[in-house]
Structure 1
Amino acid sequence: MRRSDLEGAARRVYRFMMHGEQAQWGNHEWTDWAMNIDRWDWNSGVGIIAVAEYGRVTGEERAIQEVADWVDRNKWQSDSVKVINSMAPYAVFPLLFDKRGTRYYAEKAEEIALWMMEKSPRTRNGAFEHTVTEKASFREQIWADTVFMAVLFLARAARMLSDRRMADEALRQVLLHLRALQDEETGLLYHGWNCEAGDWMSAAQWNRANAWNACGVPMILEELAGDLDDSGMLSEIKERYLKLAVALAKRQNASGLWPTVVDQPDYYEETSGSAGIAYGLYKAARMGLVPDSMKDCSDRTVAAVLSRIGDNGAVSGVSGGTPVLESVEAYNKVPIFPTLYGQGLTLLLLTEAIDLSQER
């Protein structure tokens, strides 16, 4: 993989996400939801997080400016959708504050982080209940998605504000989610846990659920590194993360990708979750959370993902928005089309690969 190839692919993915024309998005019924960047929700949030990381790592100041412009255009929507899934865009606020020094970013981040700490719905064991912008309720449910969509922001806010209470809560939320969702036998994560029923619902070890944690946990620990001692919580998180990483490495297909349900090798291979897992393994290896040899898994994924990026930058093979479904089989029927989170997770992976290429 040449650095120039990685950089070219990353630019295409970034441009399609931020500037792709509607005529290129497809003609399915979810087109606007999938690719309209100007919504304050998790889908656009994942994309914006990736653009900010791309700008930070590569020094592309234009990308940082586009993130700031996106916030200016869309912040009017934020207070009307105060749910766990709408926390994702706030994860860029600490970086914007670091880069711009504008007090709005710090003040708004503190306000929202305090809302999460004091008012967001919780399950009976104290985990953030997964709440969404759509008119749907998932009472007493813990979803793997929450770690990336909300806990990442809380960890970044904790760093920016030097708030130990927020840092401890972010760490506690990671552990609560891993304990609830991890299959102790295999190490893989289920998509969701129902605290009321006491089960994993469909019991699907969904590709992207594992990805949200494979990439989200090291991102969170990286933010909290200066504020944590080697507490019992941290030790258990590291132990569980390593178990997850080893389990995922074992189930990677020869292609370099993972099936849309990771323990179902005959299911279709899904790009966004594969990119998220590979990004997480790269980052975890750099942080010493997993053996350095696991970068080889990510190298294979990068090669496979590059082949799924079109000339216009659209990432193919991405499954549509997926709540906890009624059966494992239902995940294999989720339609495939480009999405902002698919672009975002792919951009995160390429950004990390570009950064690592300087060390090799």
Structure 2
Amino acid sequence: MNREKLLGKAEQVYEYMVIAPESDWQRNMYNWDWKPGVGLIAAVKYFEATGLETVREYLWRWMRDNRHKAAQQRVINSTAPFAALTELLRREPEAAAEWMPLVQEHGDWLMHKAPRTKEGGFEHTVTEGVDFPEQLWADTLVVGALFLARLASLTGDAVMAKEAVKQVLVHLQLLQDETTGVLFHGFDGVNRNHMSAARWGRANAWVAFGVPEIVAHVKHLAEIPAEVYERYTALLRGLVRYQTANGMWHTVLDRPDFYLETSAAAGIAYGFQLALRTGMIEDSALQAELRQAVEKAAEAVMIHVDVYGAVHGVSGGTPVMPTVEAYNEVKITPTPYGQALALMLICELLEGRDRGLGLKHSYSSINGIAGRSR
């Protein structure tokens, strides 16, 4: 697909995401929560890829309109919008005086007050008031730890950067299936098991792109253990093996009788492309496999985008389900994160494979806001 077609598809996907009615619970973009947060992360990437002023204006308007909700609940899932806000501040450091105290306050909560498992991983906490004690979910890496990495790179906080790396390693260690290389959705620290032991597609997508982005943000501030690269490489090898002939992945990777799921395909392909661009994978043969997998997945994802920009074939919000079979019963519907994962993939394809992450404003250029963990 040429650049003009990619731009057109990106515009459609973005517009469908941001015009969602507030009354639509699945598509609502007006909560300070993980679904809109992932959408905002993608919108920032779309702005970076296109420079469209209307997108920038939307992002800042969203932040202003929803700011009063930011501190209502301190949970992992309410962290996601801060990852988008941090990138806006990287681009516009003049806004730091107004916004940085809010950002730093949540960063401090993550560092010092967020519930953790015995291994030190962030316990998955949600806005719905349901507790998952001692549970580690793959979702947390993007909706929680990504913000920590971005804030660390923005402020030059080496302690925070080290914590972001720790979260990556703990999640990989506890969730990875040593036989297949792919990840289970969650880990129960009380019973020391993976609960339903589902190798869920979107869980793997979160980690597939979360790891290379986190590493790219903090590798100049903290040492990245070799184990991170080794486990991440094993993850990508496993995911390549589970890709279907039509470029998709099943909602549970090792269940070919389950439905094919679009957000997993978009997120995994985005992760592959990001891994290639940021140098996470050294094996040339695997690099070639990943490029081929991205091409197949991108074509498959585009087929699932209708003329209005809606991304179809996306499973609704999914906690760790009681059985593997229950994942196949999750309703399929357009969602902000489904739009977001497709949009991030398209933007990554637009930006090309050879550029760096382009952190245009590092902590050294933001006077007066560099923070330390308190």
- Fold conserved between structures, TM > 0.5: yes
Q: For 1:302, which of 298, 302, 318 is the aligned residue?
A: 298
Query: Would you say the 8 A contact 2:122–2:136 is kept in 1?
Result: yes
CA shift, 1:243, in A, is 0.3
* 1:354 and 2:345 correspond: no
Alpha-carbon distance, 1:198 to partner: 0.5
8 Å contact 1:42–1:88 — kept in the other structure?
A: yes
Q: 156, 160, 181: which one pairs with 2:154?
A: 160
The answer to whether structure 1 residue 237 and structure 2 residue 232 are counterparts is: no
Shift of 1:62: 2.1
Conserved in 2, the CA contact under 8 Å of 1:55 and 1:64?
A: yes
1:27 aligned residue? none
The match for 1:116 among 91, 110, 113 is: 110
Do 1:96 and 1:105's aligned partners in 2 also have CA atoms closer than 8 Å? no
Once the two structures are superposed, what CA deviation does each residue of 1:163-182 show, in whole Å capped at 9, x if it has no partner? 00000000001100110000
Pick from 259, 263, 285: which aligns with 2:254? 263
Distance verdict in 2 for CA 1:151–1:357, change over 3 Å = closer
Distance 1:20 1:122, change over 3 A: closer
Q: Does 1:278 align with 2:273?
A: no
Residue aligned with 2:187, SS: strand
- Between the aligned partners of 1:3 and 1:345, the Cα distance in structure 2 is 18
Q: Is the 8 A contact 2:29 2:336 kept in 1?
A: yes
Alpha carbons of structure 1 residues 87 and 306: separation in structure 2 relative to 1, 3 Å: same
Percent identity over paired residues: 44
Report how many residues are paired: 348
Quote how far apart the aligned CAs of 1:78 are.
1.2
Distance 1:88 1:98 in 2: 16
Quick check: 1:51–1:67 contact (8 Å CA) kept in 2?
yes
CA change 1:62–1:357 in 2 (3 A) is: farther
Describe how 1:1-360 pairs up with structure 2 within 5 A.
1-20=1-20, 32-100=24-92, 101-103=94-96, 104-229=98-223, 231=224, 233=225, 235-290=226-281, 291-293=286-288, 294-356=290-352
Q: Is the 8 A contact 1:93 1:106 kept in 2?
A: no
Once residues 320 and 346 of structure 2 are traced to their aligned partners in structure 1, the CA distance between those partners, rounded to angstroms, is 28
SS of the residue 1:183 aligns to: coil
Distance 1:157 1:21 in 2: 31
Kindly state the Cα deviation for residue 99 of structure 1 after the two structures are TM-superposed: 2.5
- Could you report, residue by residue, the CA deviation over 1:168-204 in whole angstroms, capped at 9, with x for unpaired residues? 0000011001100001111010000000000000000
Q: In the alignment, is the contact (CA less than 8 A) between 1:186 and 1:247 conserved in 2?
A: yes
Question: Greater shift after overlay, 88-97 or 200-209?
Answer: 88-97
Q: Secondary structure at 1:193's aligned position in 2?
A: strand
Q: Hey, what does 1:26 align to over in structure 2?
A: none
Counterpart amino acid of 2:142? F
Q: CA RMSD in A?
A: 1.4
Between 1:247-256 and 1:54-63, the stretch displaced more is: 54-63
Runs of 4+ in 1 over 4 A off after TM superposition: none
Q: Which runs of 5+ in 2 are unaligned?
A: 356-374
Displacement, 1:295? 1.7
Note the C-alpha offset of 1:81.
1.7
Q: Using the alignment, how far apart are the partners of 1:354 and 1:173 within structure 2?
A: 30
Task: Measure how far apart 1:58 and its partner are.
Answer: 2.1
What's the TM-score once normalised by structure 2's chain length?
0.90
Contact 1:94 1:105 in 2 (8 A): no
Q: Which structure carries more helix by proportion?
A: 1
Aligned AA (1:36) = N
Alpha-carbon distance in 2 for matches of 1:105, 1:57: 24
Deviation at 1:21, TM superposition (A): 5.4
TM-score (norm 1): 0.94
